[in-house]
């Protein structure tokens, strides 16, 4: 038995310093021996004819500046070592590795740790049961589950690759990241321990108390809580969702941006907004979409499709939508009604659509224009409407298309039953022109009536009765005697070419509506 307390032999470790890639013409490095600094006891033990030296108690050895400590070891003549019990390797004061067992080859500079393995760098600690570390490349690998912990995150996966020189870990298969604010799941992640930034490589989710994120590529900075998502990127908050080809999200500032194929959904009100760019500001309580912006008020039988240059959603403090703003050049399609205006405001609380600046609506065969229009809905069906300022209702005569039936007034109110207009009240300076015909189509004449107010009832989309209030003045002119200059009321406008006939028509640009008359 030989006392090896002062014997200097060979051991392991360097785990640092050598460049990741050697130049082709560089001379090969000299193989260095494992040097033993201390052991309480040392004996020769011819294990399998290897003439090993058995080291017992407080073993201390080094290899190219890296230190190995353990309870006991077998040191082999071929420049390799098996270490057991409280194994600890320090690599240039930047990386420490621990385990119950270690095999190290001083020639290939490969280390294999087993059981209760721990690797500690400046920012994080890796736990696993099997770890292979290559000091030539500075890469550690595990294949039997591993866990990395830093100041705020715990990351686990079945497989992992740790790049010590760039302080980066690749996680593969059943990856889970647990943070006080969220849980992240992925197939493949890259994690930078220094910056604490996570990169997605494959389908990934981030679930928090009030949000859910999905992407197949991108990153999440766990310190700044900034993420950049791409490939089927998707964010869901309390009552709205945002998706697009690429999404930027700053959770701390409550800001989000999305580019290309953007879809923003209000799940509480069944409203979907699409476009090519979206911006969301939580603290300012608004979001907007531009570039081919479209809002769809989803209904099983008759959805409303709306387009404008900009669509903006306003929220309350609970992130519940309160208003939708549409400007400029707003246009919408719904089977029962179509319309356009310079701008529109929809109130989710009272279900009112307000159209501003030369709005125009089409109900069935009727076209209505005024300075402002308010549509009141109930259960996604039209209930009533208010028309304010220079109201003009016109429809093409069904017998003779060159004639137009018209109603004008200062203000008008309409009521609907099962989406059909049943009652109309025209207020202040009401005027009307109707062309009268016999049942067989024989012309009777043009009926012109002026009164202060007018009350109209309709049935089956046809005029049923008209009541004129306060001193009506009526005049019937035979059709063949009608002067073309008199067959249209002042302010007449008829624009069927502006009417969207299908959802895609809301994107067709038109000339600006004019408030003046057409004669």
DSSP annotation string for 177-213: EEETTEEEEEEEEEEETTTTEEEEEEEEEEEESS-EE
Query: CA-CA distances (angstroms) from residue 164 to 17, 69, 96, 191, 196?
Result: 11, 20, 11, 12, 14
Nearest to 206 by CA among 193, 224, 220: 220
Task: Report yes or no: 198 and 229 within 8 Å, Cβ to Cβ.
Answer: no
pLDDT digits (tens, 9 = 90+) for 255-264: 999 999 999 8
Whole-number pLDDT of residue 237: 79
Contact 264, 272 (CB under 8 A): yes
pLDDT less than 50: residues of the chain: 1-26, 513, 515-519
Q: Which residues is 455 bridged to in the sheet?
A: 425, 467
Tell me the residue range of the domain where 380 lies. 366-509
> Has residue 422 been placed in a domain?
yes
Count of CA atoms in the C-beta half-sphere (13 A) of 152: 15
Give the distance, in angstroms, between the CA of residue 25 and the centroid of all CA atoms in the same chain. Answer: 51
Q: Read off φ and ψ for residue 250, nearest 5 degrees.
A: -115, 100
pLDDT of residue 73: 93
Residue 492 is assigned to a structural domain of this protein: yes
Q: Is residue 317 part of a domain?
A: no
- Of the three residues 80, 103, 123, the one that is the final residue of a domain is 123
Out of 107, 123, 139, a domain closes at 123
pLDDT of amino acid 27: 53
Is 54 within a domain?
yes
Other Cβ atoms within 10 Å of 20 Cβ, number: 11
Write the DSSP symbol of residue 292. Answer: S
Q: What pLDDT was estimated at residue 429?
A: 85
Give this prediction's pTM: 0.75
Q: pLDDT at position 281, please? A: 93
Task: Read off the CATH number of the domain in which 110 is found.
Answer: 2.60.450.10
Residue located via tokens 């393995």: 117
CATH number, residue 490: 2.60.450
Picking from 221, 161, 164, 156, the residue whose alpha carbon sits closest to that of residue 195 is 221
Burial class (CB in 10 A: 0-12, 13-18, 19+), 78: exposed
- DSSP secondary structure code for residue 167 in this structure: T
| Residue 193 in tokens | 């321990």
Q: Which residue has the tokens 């260095």?
A: 32
What does the pLDDT read at residue 2?
35
**pLDDT at position 18, please?**
31
- Nearest partner of 338 among 353, 318, 317, 327, judged by Cα: 353
Last residue of a domain, one of 123, 153, 180: 123
Task: Select from 384, 379, 307 the least CA-distant residue to 339.
Answer: 307
Q: How many domains, the chain?
A: 2
147-204-254-318 Cα dihedral, nearest 10 degrees: -100
Distance CA 51, CA 74 (A): 10
Q: Judging by beta carbons within 10 Å of its beta carbon (0-12, 13-18, 19+), is residue 242 exposed, middle or buried?
A: buried
- Measured in whole angstroms, the distance separating CA 253 from the mean position of its chain's CA atoms is 16
In a domain, 26, yes or no: no
| In-domain check, residue 112 | yes
For residue 422, the model assigns a pLDDT of 86
Question: What does residue 504 show for φ and ψ, rounded to 5 degrees?
Answer: -65, -20
Does 467 fall in a domain?
yes
Question: Positive or negative, the Cα torsion across 400, 433, 515, 416?
Answer: negative
How crowded is the C-beta side of 239, counted as CA atoms within 13 Å? Answer: 16
**Position 266 in a domain:** no
Residue 12 near residue 33, CB atoms below 8 Å: no
């Amino acid at each position: 038995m030989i006392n090896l307390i002062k014997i200097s032999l060979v051991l392991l470790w360097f785990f640092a310093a050598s460049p990741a890639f050697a130049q082709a013409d560089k001379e090969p490095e000299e193989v260095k021996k494992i040097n033993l600094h201390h052991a309480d006891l040392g004996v020769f033990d011819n294990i399998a004819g290897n003439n090993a030296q058995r080291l017992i108690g407080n073993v201390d050895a080094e290899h190219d500046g890296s230190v190995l400590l353990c309870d006991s070891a077998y040191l082999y003549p071929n420049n390799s070592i098996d270490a057991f019990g409280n194994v600890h390797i320090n690599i240039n004061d930047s990386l420490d590795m621990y385990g119950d067992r270690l095999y190290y080859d001083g020639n290939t500079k490969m280390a294999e740790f087993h059981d209760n393995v721990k690797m500690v760098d400046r920012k994080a600690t890796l736990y696993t049961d099997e770890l292979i570390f290559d000091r030539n490349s500075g890469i550690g690998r595990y294949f039997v589950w591993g866990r990395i912990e830093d100041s705020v995150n715990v990351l686990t996966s079945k497989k992992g690759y740790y790049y010590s020189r760039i302080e980066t870990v690749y996680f593969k298969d059943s990856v889970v990241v647990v943070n006080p604010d969220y849980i992240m799941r992925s197939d493949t992640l890259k994690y930078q321990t220094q910056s604490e930034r996570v990169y997605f490589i494959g389908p990934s989710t981030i679930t928090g108390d009030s949000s859910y994120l999905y992407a197949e590529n991108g990153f999440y900075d766990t310190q700044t809580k900034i993420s950049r998502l791409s490939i089927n990127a998707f964010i869901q908050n309390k009552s709205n969702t945002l998706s697009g080809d690429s999404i930027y999200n700053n959770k701390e500032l409550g800001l989000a941006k999305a580019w290309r194929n953007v879809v923003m959904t209000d799940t509480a009100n069944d409203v979907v907004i699409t476009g090519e760019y979206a911006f969301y500001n939580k603290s300012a309580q608004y979001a907007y979409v531009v570039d081919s912006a479209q809002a769809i008020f989803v209904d099983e039988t008759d959805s409303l499709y709306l387009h404008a240059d900009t669509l903006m959603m306003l929220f309350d403090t609970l992130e519940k939508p309160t208003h939708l703003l549409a400007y400029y050049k707003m246009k919408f399609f719904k089977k029962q009604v179509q319309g356009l205006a310079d701008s529109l405001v929809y109130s989710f609380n009272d279900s009112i659509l307000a159209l501003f600046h030369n709005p125009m609506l089409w109900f069935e065969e009727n076209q209505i224009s005024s300075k402002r229009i308010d549509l009141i809905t109930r259960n996604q069906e039209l209930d009533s409407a208010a028309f304010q300022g220079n109201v003009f209702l016109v429809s093409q005569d069904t017998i003779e298309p060159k004639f137009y039936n018209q109603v004008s007034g200062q203000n008008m109110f309409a009521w609907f039953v099962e989406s059909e207009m049943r009652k109309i009240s025209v207020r202040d300076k009401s005027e009307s022109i109707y062309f009268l015909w016999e049942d067989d189509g024989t012309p009777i004449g043009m009926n012109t009536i002026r009164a202060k107010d007018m009350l109209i009832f309709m049935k089956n989309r046809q005029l049923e009765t008209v009541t004129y209030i306060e001193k009506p003045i009526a005049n019937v002119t035979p059709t063949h005697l009608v002067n073309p200059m008199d067959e249209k009321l002042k302010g007449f406008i008829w624009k069927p070419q502006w009417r969207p006939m299908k959802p895609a028509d809301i994107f067709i640009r038109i000339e600006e509506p004019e408030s003046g008359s057409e004669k």
